[in-house]
């Protein structure tokens, strides 16, 4: 299906899958190479994402890796403000996604820096976030922490209806690979991912260098690029509209190759 997102009155066409590059303004995100803390590092990363073909930048200021240090809302806001100011300066026209589960951080990012998308990894655990994005009227990424396809669809259906009732328009679904799932549960969900299309909403996949890859292969994150590309390609063939990645160039190449395939008759 062909989807669009309303980005400040401009429609972003998802008929061709898009690449969302990850920019972590954190000292402790799980993939060390993604950690950018100085203004120069953030500027370089933002420009690299766009130069390699990324069409969105996802800015995070609070690591969600297991065992990461808890960060106060004030510290998350301070990190986010610094990063957003730099990204807006370097890439003023590129849609920015903000990776946060806090409603006030989302509000600040949109109202102060014109952030375009809110990426919430909490499955909407706090309905204050639902009310906030509905008020802000920016696209919202709803992630699932459920273990299987059935529970994922049931949770999505309930949360999407709640968002619709609040007036939210653009909703993107993230099946939540790596969140609340065992290694085998992650792969079972990937195997059935095309069934998420029944929701008639765009799907974002974020599996970049995650443990479902490196633990299966007996390697570490630094050597998980090949496995990431394999799973990104499978996700594209199962209907993913957005790939959230550390390695933008390789994801862009995966899209170019999969789009060149034509169904047999």
Which residues are known to be catalytic? 210, 244
Expressed in percent and rounded to 5, the helix, strand and coil fractions of the chain are 45, 15, 35
Q: Distance between CA 16 and CA 241 in Å, rounded?
A: 7
Q: 4-42: buried (b, 16+ CB within 10 Å) or exposed (e) per residue? A: ebebeeeebebeebbbbbbbbbbeebbbeebbbeeeeeb
The label of the residue with tokens 């993230």 reads 174
Contacts of 211 (CB under 8 A, 6+ apart): 178, 183
Q: Distance between CA 58 and CA 167 in Å, rounded?
A: 24
Q: Distance between CA 163 and CA 54 in Å, rounded?
A: 28
Q: Distance between CA 241 and CA 205 in Å, rounded?
A: 8
């Amino acid at each position: 299906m062909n989807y669009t997102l309303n980005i400040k009155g401009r429609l972003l066409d998802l008929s061709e899958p898009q690449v969302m590059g990850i920019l972590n303004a954190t000292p402790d995100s799980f993939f060390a190479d993604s950690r950018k803390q100085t203004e120069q590092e953030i500027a370089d990363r933002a420009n690299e994402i766009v130069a390699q073909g990324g069409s969105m930048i996802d800015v995070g200021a609070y690591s969600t890796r297991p065992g990461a240090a808890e960060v106060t809302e004030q510290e998350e806001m301070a990190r986010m403000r610094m990063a957003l100011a730099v990204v807006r300066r370097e890439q003023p026209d590129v849609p920015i996604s903000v990776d946060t589960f806090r409603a006030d951080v989302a509000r600040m990012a949109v109202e102060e820096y014109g952030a375009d998308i809110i990426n919430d990894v909490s499955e909407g655990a706090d309905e204050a976030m639902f009310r906030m994005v509905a008020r802000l009227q920016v696209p919202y990424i709803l992630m699932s922490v459920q273990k299987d396809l059935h529970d994922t669809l049931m949770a999505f259906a309930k949360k999407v209806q709640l968002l619709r009732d609040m007036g939210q328009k653009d909703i993107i679904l993230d099946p939540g690979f790596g969140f609340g799932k065992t290694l085998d549960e992650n792969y079972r969900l990937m195997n059935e991912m095309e069934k998420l299309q029944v929701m008639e909403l765009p799907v974002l996949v974020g599996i970049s260098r995650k443990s479902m890859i490196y633990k299966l292969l007996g390697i570490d994150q630094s050597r998980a690029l090949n496995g990431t590309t394999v799973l990104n390609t499978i996700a594209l063939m199962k209907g993913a509209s957005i790939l959230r990645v550390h390695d933008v160039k390789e994801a862009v190449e995966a899209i170019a190759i999969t789009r060149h395939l034509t169904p047999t008759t």
